[in-house]
């Protein structure tokens, strides 16, 4: 028997499960993090200039946050799709130009646009192989191009600065990836501990 269209259970004839709900709050949070990373990268560089990033290298103070922006972009692509994240990248490029010092506005906008687009072009085909296998090479490619484009257009020495810039951005890749791997390793073990505890409580 077919239920009338207005029947409260008629949706079950068309949708075996309820349609998915778009995570608005989580998406807005990641968009805010993306914008904050871009703004913060420019603000830190303007305020503090060069800072040590380890291994005897120095980089602009906003380098780590520029790497964070690349990592966040990958998460936004999972939430928004390619068209949505490309819109976010274009807005991010404009925002980066607006908050950068006037002399660096074009370099900042161009580096964001080129780096984030390259990140997306590599992340997209690799994503089906898993998040870690996609995010590491894609973010490192974007980080290298971000450094190359920004330094070239801004008129800074390029190759002398690349090691420090890449070291700073590598921290932004390594820390979240290691945390994700740690959580994946600990998560199943924690679940087993909770199940054992529940079984022990139910038998006692």
User: Is 204 part of any domain?
Assistant: no
Q: What is the CATH number of the domain that holds 150?
A: 1.10.1760
Residue 140's pLDDT is: 94
Give the pTM: 0.76
User: Is 183 part of any domain?
Assistant: no
Asked if the model's pLDDT at residue 5 lies above 70, the reply is: no
Q: What is the pLDDT of residues 18-44, one digit of tens each?
A: 555 667 888 899 999 999 998 888 888
Number of domains into which the chain is organized:
1
User: Is 202 part of any domain?
Assistant: no
pLDDT (average), residues 150-174: 90
Residue for token pair 């994240």? 85
Residue 152's pLDDT is: 92
Q: What is the pLDDT of residues 94-145, one digit of tens each?
A: 888 888 888 788 888 899 999 999 999 999 999 999 988 999 999 999 999 9
Nearest to 71 by CA among 137, 15, 126: 137
Strand ranges for the chain from DSSP E:
50-54, 57-60
User: Is 8 part of any domain?
Assistant: no
User: Is 151 part of any domain?
Assistant: yes
User: Is 108 part of any domain?
Assistant: yes
Residue 58's pLDDT is: 92
pLDDT (average), residues 41-61: 89
User: Is 110 part of any domain?
Assistant: yes
User: Is 146 part of any domain?
Assistant: yes
Domain containing 42: what range? 21-178
Residue 204's pLDDT is: 43
Is residue 187 within 8 Å of 79, Cβ to Cβ? no
């Amino acid at each position: 028997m077919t239920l009338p269209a207005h029947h409260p259970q008629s949706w079950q004839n068309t949708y075996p499960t309820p349609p998915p709900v778009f995570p608005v709050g989580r998406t807005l949070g990641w968009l805010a993090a993306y914008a904050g990373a871009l703004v913060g990268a420019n603000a830190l560089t303007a305020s503090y200039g060069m800072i040590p990033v380890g291994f005897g290298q120095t980089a602009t103070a906003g380098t780590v946050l520029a790497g964070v922006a690349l990592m966040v972009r990958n998460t936004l692509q999972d939430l928004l799709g390619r068209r949505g994240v490309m819109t976010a990248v274009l807005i991010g490029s404009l925002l980066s130009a607006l908050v950068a010092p006037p002399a660096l506005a074009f370099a900042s906008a161009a580096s964001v646009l080129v780096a984030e687009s390259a990140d997306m072009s590599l992340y997209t085909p690799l994503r089906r192989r898993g998040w870690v296998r996609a995010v590491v090479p894609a973010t490192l490619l974007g980080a290298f191009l971000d450094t190359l484009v920004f330094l070239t257009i801004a008129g800074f020495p390029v190759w002398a600065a690349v090691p420090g810039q890449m070291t700073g951005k590598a921290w932004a890749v390594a820390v979240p990836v290691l945390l994700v791997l740690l959580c994946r390793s600990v998560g199943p073990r924690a679940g087993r501990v909770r199940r054992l505890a529940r079984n022990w409580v139910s038998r006692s």
